[in-house]
């Protein structure tokens, strides 16, 4: 069951009051929610409310809280990702995969071999919305954030170099396990993924010059959106052992 974000101010005397247009549209128009049906909400403190709908129309919903508890659906590892701009369908899937796999911040960058050079123009709001839809579906506790940036260096400046891992299909200097050696998992980690055409030689040279960890996903080649899932999952499994 997907859950829906609610502000604590909308919770009063054991009831949740919904008037947000997007949430109402989803619940009333898309899901056609009816009285006595169960809906989950989550607030900014990551408290989940299992609630029974009491009143519903196109302007408001009133739901009675049946049970509330702190959500545990989030990673205890702070993982961010860079996704090189993909074609629209691939980009949407990559964003969904990143959110479902646990990325807290998602940075989109135009790299040299991007098929859609101008896809990032005025798309940050749209991509954040896609991230939020995935957040609802997988019932995550923490809200992911999507940011559009112009260059890799602009993103890299926010992270320690030793915590930046570049998934590079042409190089296999490090396995994921090796790349994570001596890494402090209490610090922010950045995982970098290329476009459908891979990184350019100029970009590889830049990564090597910056002494970043060029890391392999193994002998097989993944489609770009699937590489995002495999990379995050591999890092999480290694760090959670």
The mean of the pLDDT values for the chain is 92
The 8 Å CB, 24+ separation contacts for 209-214 are: 210/156, 210/161, 210/164, 211/161, 212/156, 212/161, 212/164, 212/165, 212/166, 213/162, 213/164, 213/165, 213/166, 213/173, 213/174, 213/179, 214/166, 214/168, 214/171, 214/172, 214/173, 214/174
- Contact, 157 vs 183, CB < 8 A? no
pTM for the model stands at 0.91
**Domains of the chain, CATH where assigned:** 3-70 (2.40.240.20), 79-239 (3.40.1280.10)
Each residue's pLDDT tens digit, 57-111: 989 999 999 999 999 999 999 999 999 999 999 999 999 999 999 999 999 999 9
Q: Which residues of the chain fall short of a pLDDT of 50? A: none
pLDDT value of residue 123: 87
């Amino acid at each position: 069951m997907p859950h829906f974000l609610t502000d604590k101010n909308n919770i009063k005397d054991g009831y949740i009051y919904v008037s947000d247009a997007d949430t109402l549209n989803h619940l009333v128009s898309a899901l056609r929610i009816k009285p006595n049906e169960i809906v989950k909400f989550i607030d900014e403190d990551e408290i989940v409310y299992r609630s029974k709908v009491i009143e519903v129309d196109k302007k408001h919903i009133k739901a009675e809280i049946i049970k509330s508890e702190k959500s545990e659906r989030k990673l205890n590892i702070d993982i961010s990702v860079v996704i090189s701009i993909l074609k629209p369908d691939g980009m949407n899937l990559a964003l969904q995969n990143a959110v479902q796999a646990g990325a807290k911040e998602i940075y989109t960058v135009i790299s040299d071999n991007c098929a859609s050079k101008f896809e990032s123009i005025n798309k940050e709001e749209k991509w954040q919305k896609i991230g939020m839809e995935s957040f609802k579906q997988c019932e995550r506790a923490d809200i992911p954030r999507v940011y559009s940036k112009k260059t890799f260096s602009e993103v890299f400046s926010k992270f320690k170099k030793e915590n930046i891992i570049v998934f590079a299909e042409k190089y296999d200097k490090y396995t994921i396990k090796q790349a994570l050696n001596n890494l402090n998992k209490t610090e922010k980690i950045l995982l970098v993924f290329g476009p459908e055409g891979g990184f350019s030689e100029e970009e590889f040279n830049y990564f090597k010059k910056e002494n970043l960890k060029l890391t392999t996903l193994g002998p097989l080649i993944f489609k770009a959106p699937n590489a995002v899932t495999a990379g995050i999952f591999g890092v999480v499994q290694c760090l959670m052992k």
